[in-house]
Every structure is written in C-alpha cells, then in structure tokens.
Structure 1
C-alpha cells in the first residue's frame, strides 16, 4: 500500500550469490569439533564457507556461492558434483559432515537481497522499522541490531517531542534512511572482505598495522568493525570514516618494504600525521 503512494521509492536488488546452510554435528559427549570461540571462514575468492558454534556442540555452516558459472550452485546438481566440489575446495571440511550430500539435497538454497525504500512512514499512521525498511545481506551480523537501533532512535524522538507522532515519524525517516543505506553498504563490503581478503597476506598485515595504531592512539583511530559493532556511531558515519581509513591505509601499504618495517615508529608517525 505504501508503494502505491505517490513519491514513495522502493527497490529490491538480488545479489549474484545464493546460500545454503549445513550442520556439523557435535562430537562425542557433545564436544565441538572446531574451536567454539571463533568464526570459521574458508575464503575462496568469489565464494566462501563459514561456520559458527551452537551451544549443543554442533556448528551451523553456510556456503555462499554464485548462482551461475564456475564453482556455483548451478554446477552442484548431483551427489558426484557435490562431493567433488567439497573434496577439492574444502577438503578439511568434508570429514566433519558424514551426511553432506543428504543435507545438501534436503536443505533449501536461498537468495540474498537488499531492500531500499523511502520515506519510511506515511504521516503519523504507518512506520517501517528493521528489515521492512532496510533489509540487507548478513555479512556484518547487524540486521537485528539495526532494527533495535531504529526503535531506540524512535523512542528518543518521541520523548523529546512530547510524543508528537507526526513530527517524530518524519524526523525518524530522515535520520534513519542514511543509516539503513550505511549498514547495507557496510554489509556488502564485508562480504568481499570475508570471501576474498581474509586469505590475502597483505590485507592481514594491514589489519595488524591498524590494530597497533589504534592501541597507541585510540583517540585517532577506531577500527571500522569496532565502530559498527561496539559503539553508537551511526552506520552512515562509520561508513564515511571507514572510507577515509581505507584511503589512508592504501598510502601506508604502498610504502617500500612495508612488510619488513611496518612496526617502526616512523610508520606509526606517518599514520598519525595522515589521520
């Protein structure tokens, strides 16, 4: 009904990847077969496999892969192709799931999409929060939190306006729209990081350098992940700061022999001067 209203924008963008969940069962006596305190990622460039621990000793795993083309879901249509795919690309994963093909055949393959819409309200009558306003892909783990943040901001606006619903709804829509876009941008960026860059030694070195600088000068540098996950910095602002940080780090990583001299004082000073 909101879309039928004049001047109400709406779009849904399906990305070129689908996903399927698998389950690593618990070991003997409910023991976890992998480190339960880590996010496990098998990065493979255009696709990846991840695993997260459950309380019962099992792991929920998700394969994210292209819909079509090489190493895609399109290629995995029978038992031989599925077994070959995992044996070749994830050899250490295969022994953890004895019934791999049964799970593959039974569990659904699902799509991934980003929804954008504006405004998020119709006067003081209807208001969108959470996924109805800014559904995103799951690669930052912030979907539910973004919805809770919507509620917090709305509550603050209602309190400060003596519960003027019309003004609060209009202001909420203006304030939260950039942050809905922000978490969507952050999520897509982190998909690339997870599936590709976590296997890149230079990227990993960059993160080590950033961590050292943040420890030395916390007032000058908060890592992007920390801004998003552990502060109330708006998603849109975190996205902007993250772009500036990345541009700065491109200059640092181009320094000759950075792999050998990254922990020298002059490198930290260079970052300080640029930040």
Structure 2
C-alpha cells in the first residue's frame, strides 16, 4: 500500500482506515456507528461478538476485509487493543461570568470534534487568532471581548463539527456508492478546468482562510449543483 495515502475500506455501518507510520508500516483502526452496539443491526456484527476470541476476530476480518493487507497478528491485535468512543462538544456560549470574573473556553474544552476532517488542532489555533483580534482594543472590558469572540466563533465551531461528522458518513458508506464517485469525479474535473472559479468544500477548509461556516454553506451549494449537473448531463459512470 502507498504510505503517502489514507486507505479506507467502507462497509456501510463501519469502516477500516489505515494510516502509515514513520517506519513504513500501517496502523489500522475500525470506526463504527454507535460502536456497533447490539441495537445497531445495520451490520451483522457487534464489537463484543467480534472480539470474544481470536477465531471470531479472524472470521470478521476475513469476511469484511479480505482485500486489506492485514498482518498475521491482526486478529490478536483487534482483541487486545482498547475500544474507545469519539464525540463532539458543543456549547451555547464559550464564555461566562462567575462571581464577577469572566471565563472563556477555547479549543477542545469548547468544541471538541471527531477526527474525520483533520481540523481539531487547526480549529484551536484559529481560536487563538480570533481571540487575539478581540483583545486588540485595550479599553474594551475583558467580558465584552469574550462575548464578541464567542458570538463570532459559535457558528464556525458548530460548522466544522457538522462537517467532521459528515465526513465520517462519507468514509463509512458514500465512498462505496457509484453515484457519489461520479459526483466527485465531476467535481475534480471542474476544479482542474476552472481552478480560479470553483473549489471543493475540502479545498476551502484546508487551503483557505474562509470561516468554517462559509465553507459549510459553500459545500452544501456545491453538492446540490453537482447533483443537478450529473443528472441533467446524464453522467452515470466515472469513465464518462
């Protein structure tokens, strides 16, 4: 496998992701909706059932990921490595005054997000930039600066949280949908031919200073545009 790429095996209610290590090996992680709990019957597996013993783990990996280049110890590692939960943090405000003292939450304390857009750390850095802008007026009360910061950041931190969750769904299921792949191919062609006129949501987030909320809205508009374009032009395969 190419060690400069993210490798994903989508399976509907869960997916396997492999990321390269510095030594050229790969670390694989299985991400699942609701942790594949018993009530999640979209997939005929649960974490308790696939990790009860090596035979069950091996059967699961062989059935769902026969095309992944798994190591000889994959089943044992699936059982021995810990299971963890991912989640998001959202606040109605990032600031409060307690006993006359203004307090402010930044970073993960205010807006932790799932890792599927790769923006957790960047979002925290952006907090610092925006906060610094609100602290430039030295005559402004600190509580007022915090309120201004919070009012500005809420829409953007909620937007990147939404986009990160949407990317989870994309990795888990959409990338296996031929219609989705057609839309992505059309989008790539448009960006190649009109680089100054069109950029994907991913590109806007990663390579621009546009606020997350603006990137989210642009991505929603682009998704509708691409869907209409593919439908009206009768494009049904990536080759077309």
Give yes or no for TM over 0.5: yes
Match of 2:25 in 1: 58
The partner residue of 2:45 within 59, 67, 71 is 71
Match of 1:88 in 2: 63
The residue matched to 1:209 in structure 2 has which SS?
helix
Which segment drifts farther, 245-254 or 82-91? 245-254
Q: Deviations over 1:134-182 (max 9, x none)?
A: 11111111111111111111112212x2373222211110011111110
Match of 1:162 in 2: 138
TM-score by length of 2: 0.87
Cα shift at 1:229? 1.3
What are the residue-to-residue correspondences of 1:43-192 with 2, within 5 Å? 43-65=10-32, 66-68=36-38, 69=41, 70-76=44-50, 77-93=52-68, 96-123=70-97, 125-159=102-136, 161-162=137-138, 164=140, 165-192=142-169
Q: Are the counterparts in 1 of residues 186 and 226 from structure 2 also a CA contact under 8 Å?
A: no
What are the residue-to-residue correspondences of 1:211-230 with 2, within 5 Å? 211-230=188-207
Partners of 2:237 and 2:75 lie apart in 1 by: 46
Q: Between Structure 1 and Structure 2, which shows a larger proportion of strand residues?
A: 1
- Deviating above 6 A after TM superposition, structure 1's stretches of 4 or more consecutive aligned residues are 260-263
Q: Deviations over 1:103-127 (max 9, x none)?
A: 2222110112122112111246321
Q: Deviations over 1:70-126 (max 9, x none)?
A: 233132122221110000111133x53222232222211011212211211124632
Q: Which runs of 5+ in 2 are unaligned?
A: none
Match of 1:273 in 2: none
Q: Are the counterparts in 1 of residues 185 and 238 from structure 2 also a CA contact under 8 Å?
A: no
TM-score by length of 1: 0.77
